[in-house]
């Protein structure tokens, strides 16, 4: 057999034998690009799910802590039971609940699998050093029948300077009274 016969057979069948090695490389490159885009898409979805779980856990923990602090008079068992109901209603689960006086310390978790997120929240009355405590004390002074706590300013107010004093407003113009209408 001749060597040229094989070459002719390839041509007759529609196949072409080419010595270039890059034939079909566009398919391989496009499959590689599609795979990279797929991995990036999965990573972005996973990060989005982690962010959603973190926000869900934070909201559930905040509301559960507020519910426990609101029901502190029911005792630790009653307050933590209320916090658990609120956490479940928010799509989270209560991991930890501690009640010290009127202050609750709650940890809630959200998510599943590798994306479980736990968030801690505290709730209770404002402390004596907070601005809310001094504002509420001033407000309770004006309500008759409620005990008052003297408000304490953390820093004394600065003395006003003459440049900061407001300018005197001009005296209002006098408008004459209308004349009586004769009958």
Strand order across the 103-110 sheet: 93-100, 103-110, 117-123
User: Cα angle vertex 33, ends 28, 38, to 5°?
Assistant: 125
Domains of the chain listed by start with CATH number: 30-143 (3.30.1300)
For 7-25, the pLDDT digits (tens) are 555 555 555 555 566 677 8
For 128-147, the pLDDT digits (tens) are 665 554 444 444 444 444 44
pTM higher than 0.75, yes or no? Answer: no
Contact 97, 31 (CB under 8 A): no
pLDDT at 179: 73
């Amino acid at each position: 057999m001749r060597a040229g016969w094989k070459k002719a057979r390839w041509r007759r069948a529609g196949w072409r034998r080419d010595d270039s090695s890059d034939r079909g490389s566009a398919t391989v490159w496009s499959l590689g690009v599609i795979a990279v885009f797929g991995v990036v898409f999965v990573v972005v979805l996973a990060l989005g799910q982690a962010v959603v779980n973190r926000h869900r856990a934070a909201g559930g923990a905040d509301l559960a802590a507020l519910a426990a602090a609101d029901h502190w008079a029911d005792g630790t068992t009653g307050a933590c039971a209320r916090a658990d109901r609120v956490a479940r209603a928010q799509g989270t689960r209560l991991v930890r609940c501690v009640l010290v006086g009127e202050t609750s310390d709650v940890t809630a978790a959200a998510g599943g699998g590798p994306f479980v997120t736990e968030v801690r929240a505290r709730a209770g009355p404002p402390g004596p050093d907070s601005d809310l405590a001094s504002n509420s004390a001033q407000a309770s002074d004006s309500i008759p029948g409620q005990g008052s706590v003297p408000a304490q300013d953390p820093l004394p107010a600065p003395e006003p300077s003459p440049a900061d004093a407001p300018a005197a407003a001009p005296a209002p113009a006098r408008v004459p009274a209308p004349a009586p209408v004769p009958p």
